[in-house]
Amino acid sequence: MQESGTEASRRLAGPTGPENGGIGAVRPDLEQIFRREYPRVHGIARRVLGDARAAEDVAQDVFVAFGRSSVPVGEAAGWLAVAASHTALNLLRTERRRRDRERRAAAGEHLPDIADHVVRATERARVRQVLGRLPRRQALVVLLRHSGLSYQEIAAATGMAAGGIGTTLRRAEAAARKELERS
Amino acid sequence: MRHLSAGTVQRIVDEPPAVRDTDQDHAEHCDRCRDRVTRARQDRTVLTTLWRQDDVPPTATEVQAAWTRLATHDPAAPPSRAVPVPRRSRGRRPTALVLGTALVAALGSTAAATNWFPLFQPDRVRAVSLSASDLSDLGDLAEYGTLTAPSSWHPRTVPDAVAARAATGLPVVTPSWLPRGVSGPVRYAVLPRGTASFRFSLDRAARAAAARGLTLPPAPRGVDGSTVTVSLGPAVVQTWGARDDVVPLMILRLPSPTLTSGDVPLDTLRSYLLAQPGLPADLADQLRRLPADGSTLPLPVPSSAAAVSATTLDGVPATLVKLRDGAGAAVVWIQEKRLTIVLGLISSSEARRLGTEIVDADR
C-alpha cells in the first residue's frame, strides 16, 4: 500500500524533525516543494543521463540535499534545477571516463566495443556525449533553458548576468550542433 | 551597419517580446542576421528533437513512489552521492552591502573632525566596479547586523505628471520623443519617502567572518550596535511599454539619498568597514578613492555585465552604463540635489539624448 503524503511527511519530520532540533532536521515545506518541482528535477537528470531510473536516483539525492538546506522557498526551483544539472553532469562525466577506460582496455585486445557501438548509434546517446563535452557553464544554461527556465530565472539560479545568458546559449547550441554534425 | 549580438540573435528565438523593435527590424531586413536567426532556430530544433524521447514527465504514481522513497530516507543520512550546492544568487544583497559600505565610505572627514554628524547628501555619482568574484566574496548585509527596510515603499499609480508632481514635489519631465522600439502610453507612479537602517553587530560580523575562516580587525569603541540610516524618496517613476512584464524605458527621479549616523563618528565606521576582511581589495581601493567630502554617490555596477563611462549632459556630470550585450543602457546623474536615472532597452546614445533633454528642461 502506498504511503500517503501526510504520513510520509510526519515520518520525515519525525522525532528528529526541525521542531525538535534534531540532527536530521528536515525543512517542513519539503513535500509541497517536492510535488511541485520533482517533474522538472527528474526531467533535467533524464535529459543528461537518458535513463529514467538513473534520473530517479539523481532526483532523490538532490531532494535529500535540499531537505537539509535552508534555501528560501522563492529560490527553491532554481536551486533544485541547478543542483540536478550539476549532479547529473558529474555522473555523466564519471560514466564517460569509465567507458573510455573500458574502451582503451578493449582496444588492446582488438575487440569491438559492441555495447558502446549500440549506444553511439542512437541519437539520444549522441546528444549526451555532446553535452558532456560542452564547458560546464554552457551545458548548465542549455539544460536549464530546455527545462523551461526563462533568462531571468537562469540568471537568478546561477548567479550569471542576465545579459550574458543569450550569448552563452547561442555558443552552446551552435557548438552542440557542430559536434552532432561531426559525430 | 552594426549586426546583432549573438545574445540578441538567441533571444529572438527564445524570448522575442524582450527584444527591442529596432533589433527585430534589423533581423528582418539584414540578410546576414536573418540567416543567423534561422540557424539559431535550427540549432534549437535539433536539440529539442533529440531530447524528445527523454521529455516524458513522470506519472502521478511515479511521483508518489519517489516521494515515498524520499520520505523513508533516514533524515540523518546524507545523499548517496555528492550534490554540488548551487551558489545562491546574491544579486541585491551584496549590492546593498556595497552600497551601504560605499555610502559610509564616501562620508567626509568633516563629520569626524567635528565629531558631529551632519546630513550627508551627495551631488554627483561615480560608478564602483564589481567583478563576479567580488559578488561571490561578499556576504549578505544581514550577516553583519540588522537591516530594516522601509515597509511601505511600494509604488502607487497616479494619472498624470501633474499628480506625480503634486504627490512628490518633484518636477516631472516627459521627453518630447521616444527611442525607436519604445511605444505605448507613459505611466506614472509615485513612491513615498522611506528610510532604511542598518544596525551593525560585532557578534554577527565575527561569526560571518569566522564562517569564511577570517578574523575581524579590532573594533573601535561604539561601532558595535551603531546605526546608519538612509533616507530615500519620495520618488516618481515613469514607464513606457504596452506590457507589464517588459518595460522598454523607465525614468526614475528622487531627491539625492541622505545618510545619517547617530551613534558613532561616521569616519570611524567608514574606516572600520573598509578594513573588513570580506571586502575585496580592489573594491576597497575604489571606495577609498572616492572624494572624502561626502559629495559622491557610489553606483555599484557589475563589470562583467556592463561597461561604465563618465559623460556630461549639457555640462552636468553623469555616469553612462551600457550592457555589454548591447541590450540596454542607462544614464544616471544628480542635478540640484535630485537623482535621475534613465534606463531601458535603448542604446547609450539614446540614453544620453533623453538625459540631455531632461537636464535642459530642469534648468
Structural domain includes residue A86:
yes
What is the DSSP-derived secondary structure letter of residue B262?
S
Q: How far apart are CA B192 and CA B187, in angstroms?
A: 17
Three-state SS at B259:
strand
Peptide bond into B234 cis (omega under 30): yes
Closest CA of chain B from A106, distance in Å: 29
State the pLDDT at residue B286. 76
Mean model confidence pLDDT for chain B: 78
State the pLDDT at residue B212. 65
State the pLDDT at residue B154. 75
- Residue B66 and residue A60: Cβ atoms within 8 Å? yes
Q: Which residues contact B242 (CB under 8 A, 6 or more apart)?
A: B183, B184
β-strands B296-302, B124-130: how paired? parallel
Closest CA of chain A from B68, distance in Å: 6
| Among A50, A126, A159, beta carbon nearest to B89 | A159
Tell me which residue has cell 556592463. Answer: B306
Q: What percent of chain A has pLDDT over 90?
A: 34
* Max CA pair span of chain A: 62
- CA dist A58 to A41, B141, B284, Å? 9, 34, 42
Higher-confidence position of B29 and B211: B29
Query: At residue B280, does pLDDT exceed 50?
Result: yes
- Residue A61 and residue B90: Cβ atoms within 8 Å? no
| A33 contact B CB<8A | no
β-strands B124-130, B194-200: how paired? unpaired
Q: Which residues contact B221 (CB under 8 A, 6 or more apart)?
A: none
Query: At residue A117, does pLDDT exceed 90?
Result: no
Query: At residue B329, does pLDDT exceed 90?
Result: no
Q: How far apart are CA A166 and CA B8, in angstroms?
A: 7
pLDDT in tens, B79-112: 888 888 776 544 333 344 444 444 444 433 333 3
pLDDT in tens, B287-309: 777 765 667 777 777 776 778 89
Query: pTM of the full predicted structure?
Result: 0.48
- CA dist A143 to A39, A122, B51, B55, Å? 14, 20, 11, 12
Q: How far apart are CA A143 and CA A46, in angstroms?
A: 11
Structural domain includes residue A2:
no
- Residue B63 grid coordinates: 511521483
Tell me which residue has cell 545562491. Answer: B88
| Residue B161: band (very low, low, confident or very high) from pLDDT cuts 50, 70, 90 | very high
Q: How far apart are CA A30 and CA A26, in angstroms?
A: 8
Closest CA of chain A from B84, distance in Å: 6
Contacts of A156 in chain B (CB under 8 A): 89, 91
Structural domain includes residue A1:
no
Domain encompassing residue A97: 10-182
| A181 contact B CB<8A | no
Task: Give chain A's domain count.
Answer: 1
The residue of A30, A36, A169 whose CB has the most chain B CBs within 10 angstroms, and thus the best one to mutate to test that interface, is: A169
Structural domain includes residue A4:
no
Structural domain includes residue A117:
yes
Structural domain includes residue A37:
yes
Contacts of B94 in chain A (CB under 8 A): none
pLDDT in tens, A120-178: 446 667 788 888 888 888 999 999 999 989 888 888 888 787 778 899 999 999 998 88
CB count in 10 Å sphere of residue B86: 22
State the pLDDT at residue A144. 94
In total, the C-beta contacts within 8 angstroms joining chain A to chain B are 209
| B59 contact A CB<8A | no
